[in-house]
Every structure is written in structure tokens, then in C-alpha cells.
Amino acid sequence: MESGLRVAVFGAYGHTGRFVVAELRERGFVPVLCGRDADKLKVLAESCPGLDARPASVDDPASLDRALAGAAAVINCAGPFATTAAPVIEAALRGGIPYVDVAAEIEANADTFAQFTDRARAAGAVVVPAMAFYGGLGDLLTTAAMGDWTAADEVHVAYGLSGWHPTAGTRAAGAVSRQRRGGRRVRYTNGRLEHRDDAPPTLEWPFPDPMGPRAVIGEFTMADVVTVPSHLSVPDVRTYMTVEAARDISAPETPSPAAVDEHGRSAQTFLVDVVVRSGAGERRAVARGQDIYAVTAPLVVEAVDRILTGRTRAVGVASAGAIFDAPDFLRALSLHLAVEILP
């Protein structure tokens, strides 16, 4: 889409934000660089000649309004989203533009649905939380796997990561979520989120080849437990993480991602295996790719493109699977993801 439309990126200088800025430019959009740190914005703007840099703070609504002025949409890449989501959504609603974020925080995403569903629908606005590797991709794969099923008994999303070198933003968001949960873990069962004090189980997941069976942490709960049941009738949504990646993310000495190619991607590879069960029936969807942070950029930019060109199915607060044609969306990402939908 050679649109020339301006898209504000809040948190543009962050690790994921930089991928998003690059993807927007590749797709013909004009990023507006926004964020809380004026010095970091200046450095980024110097490396991206011709782009506006607009400092803004979530505790200064007027600065957010100035940052979003003239933009066709805003992408929020700045965590922790427990702090940034609501103020940036408010600014998007005031400006009459769509809001999309890349939040992986379960609580922040749940808050977005709880706080803005009625207002956004009444305003005819579009708000899409968790339009990222966690939350968005799993929801799209689940929706595509469901096909003509209108309900299912359970959804399992298994993350086969080769490792997980977290960004500073990932660590900060995780700390906020742990604090909000009082150190407990969370899972989605019997149609609701529940908190538990016991340790999650370790089990073996039968990933497809070439990965094969691997040890995973069961009930390693991610944002899919908010996005999937927000629009699909599924009482149990379970997510799993390979043991190696779970150890990486929990170890304070694990380094940040390091670029290994011209696109800035790390060497990390992933396989997302989604299994949907209804009675005796089972359906599956699999996605393979490289670098969970980098792949978030084409996910969120494709979402913005579809919103701005009217290729949507809903208004208000909606997850990826609810607002977009999931199989078609996944096909559009063929340069970034290898996807199989298995009946």
C-alpha cells in the first residue's frame, strides 16, 4: 500500500518500535516518531531523515494530542502497557483515529477490553490490543484452525522457541504483571481467569517436525488467554513454553537480543503449534519463523493497513481474530511466516 499516510508510533525508539518504524516505511507509510524520551527520539530521527519526532508523556494528555495530530492511526509499542495503554487509547479516541498495540501483558489487555469496549463501540472506533507475536498471532492461528466450528472445548497454544533473550521492555512488563498478580501465576479455565500459587507442570509437547517432542512448561500463560476467548466460545485456553525459553526469560543474566542479519533480527527461531479440540474432533495450525520481536512488526503493520483500507469485521475493542479474516491475514504474512492450517 503506497499510501503516504502518517502513522504515529509511540515508543518508536524501543526494540520492537524500531522494527515497526522500518516496516511502516517499507509498506509506504510515514511513521511519526513518538515517545517519552526526547533524547532517544532525537537520535532515532537523525537516523531516519524526514521523519517527525514528537516527544509525549502518558501523564500529559496535551502532549499525546500533539503527538497524534495529523496521524491516520497510532501503534503503541511502549510498555509496560499497564501504564501506557489507557492514556494512548484516550488520545486516539479524542483524535478519532484507530489504536493498535503490541501488548503481551495479560492484565493490560484485559483492562483494555474492560475499560474501553463500550466507549469505543459507541464511537465507532477501532481498538486492537495485543496485535503481536503473543496474543495476536495465536488468536489468528486459533481462529483459522477453528474454521467453520462455532465453539470448541479447548485451545492449546504451544510456543516452541529456540531460546528467549528478552528486551528491557519485556522484563519491565513482566515485573509489572507479577506485581499485579501478587507473585501468583494465572491460567484460563472454565471460562475465566484464575490465579494459582502452585508451580506450573512440566510436560512433553508433540511439536511437528523438525522440532519434534520437547519438554515444555505447561500453563505458561500468555496474552492468548485474553484474545482468544474475547470472541471465540472456548472455556479452556492453555499456553505452553519450551523449557529452554522459560529458563532464559527467568534468568536475570540472559542478554538482550543480538542482531545477526541485515534486518536486525536475532538468531531466535520459533514454532507456534495450535491445537483446537471439540468433542472427538481436533484441528491444528502451525506457524514457523524467526525472531518474535521482529515478526511483530509485519503483524501490527498489516493490521493497520487493513483497518485503514476498511478490511475489518468489527468496531470497538476487538482482537485480531475477531476483526480480521484470519486465513487471509496469515496468507498476507507469507514473507515472514510459514503457516499450515491442518484439518
First to last CA, the chain: 32
Cβ atoms of 157 and 234 closer than 8 Å: no
**Separation of alpha carbons 87 and 59, rounded Å:** 8
Task: Say which residues have a Cβ less than 8 Å from residue 321's Cβ, sequence separation at least 6.
Answer: 139, 140, 142, 143, 227, 228, 231, 232
HEC string for 201-224: CEEEEECCCCCCEEEEECCCCCCH
Nearest to 66 by CA among 10, 13, 119, 24: 10
Q: Tell the CATH superfamily of the 133-292+338-342 domain.
A: Dihydrodipicolinate Reductase; domain 2 (3.30.360.10)
Q: Kindly list the domain boundaries of the chain, sorted by start residue.
A: 6-130+296-327, 133-292+338-342
Q: At 274, which helix (H) or strand (E)?
A: strand 269-278
What type of residue sits at position 281?
G
Per-residue pLDDT of the chain (343 residues), as tens digits, is 457 999 999 999 999 999 999 999 999 999 999 999 999 999 999 999 999 999 999 999 999 999 999 999 999 999 999 999 999 999 999 999 999 999 999 999 999 999 999 999 999 999 999 999 999 999 999 999 999 999 999 999 999 999 999 999 999 999 999 999 999 999 999 999 999 999 999 999 999 988 999 999 999 999 999 999 999 999 999 999 999 999 999 999 999 999 999 999 999 999 999 999 999 999 999 999 999 999 999 999 999 999 999 999 999 999 999 999 999 999 999 999 999 998 7
Assigned fold of 6-130+296-327: Rossmann fold (3.40.50)
Cβ atoms of 312 and 324 closer than 8 Å: yes
The secondary structure of 130-162 as a DSSP string is: --SIIIIIHHHHHHHHHTT-SB-SEEEEEEEES
The pair phi, psi for residue 33, each rounded to 5°, is: -85, 115
**Separation of alpha carbons 72 and 51, rounded Å:** 15
Q: Tell me, what's the pLDDT at 2?
A: 53
b/e code 14-32 from CB counts within 10 Å (16+ = b): bbbbbbbbbbbeebebbbb
**Separation of alpha carbons 69 and 56, rounded Å:** 12
Taking phi over 0 as left and psi of -120 to 50 as alpha, with beta for the rest, 4 belongs to: left
